[in-house]
Homo-oligomer: A and B are copies of this chain.
C-alpha cells in the first residue's frame, strides 16, 4: 500500500468516525504503529486532522464555541479570579455557579491543578473543559436560556447528593444586613443548595455590588466563609464583613 493511499484511508476513517486509534489503524492496515503515528503527524501538520494521544480526531468534531471575553469589569474580575484560584488545592471538589467572574476563575486555574469542578453553567463548563487535568461534572436539568445554566428540582437534587470542599458563588448583591440576594428564582434555589452542600462557601463579587440589594433572599452572611473582591482586604468598605467574622481576601 502506498503511503499516500494509506494516508487517504486514514483521513477517510477520521472523517467518517470522528476518531481513530493508532493501534486500530496499525492492525487494519498492517503497518507498525510508528508509521501510523508519522502519518497522523503529517496529516496534522497539513491541518487535515487533530492528533491526540493514542490516535486522532476529526477537525470538525473538536471545534467548540468559545465564550467571548468582552466582559464587564474585566480587569477587576481577573484579580478576583487570581485570589480565588489560590484557594483550590489538588483533589478538591469544587461547586461553582455561572457568571462572568466564574469564567475568569476557570481561566485562571493553574494548568497542573487536579481537582473536580461541578457546575450547571454551560459557559463555565466549556471553560473547564479546556483545562488539561481537571474533571468536570455537569449538573443536569432544564436549561435556562437567559442564564445558560441548568435549573430545577433535578439539578437541586443532584447538588444535594454532593459534599463539596469548596463552593464559589458569583453573586449579584451582598449586604451586611440582608445577606446575599439575587433576582432569579431558579438561580436562588440552586445557590441555596450549593451553600448547603459545601464545607466552605466563597463569594466572588466586584466591589460595586457590595452593599447592594436584589429582590430574592439567598442566605444570610453568616453562611459565608470567605468574600473575595478586587479590593485589598483591609479596604474600609469591607470592614463590616471582616467584623462579622468573614474571611476577606
Interface residues of chain A, those whose CB is within 8 Å of chain B, are: 2-5, 8-9, 11-12, 15-19, 21, 24, 48, 50, 52-55, 57-58, 60-62, 64-67, 70-73, 99-100, 120, 122-123, 125-126, 128-129, 135-143, 145-146, 148, 150, 154-155, 158, 172-173, 183-184, 208-209, 212, 214-215
Q: Tell me what chain A mostly uses at the interface: helix, strand, loop, or mixed.
A: mixed
Cβ of A172: which chain B residues have Cβ within 8 Å of it?
16-18
Closest Cβ of chain B to A8, distance in Å, is 4
Contact A214-B17, Cβ < 8 Å, known A2-B52, A57-B5, A72-B60: yes
Contact A100-B214, Cβ < 8 Å, known A52-B3, A73-B15, A145-B136: no
Decide if A2 touches B148 in the complex (CB within 8 Å).
no
Decide if B100 touches A60 in the complex (CB within 8 Å).
yes
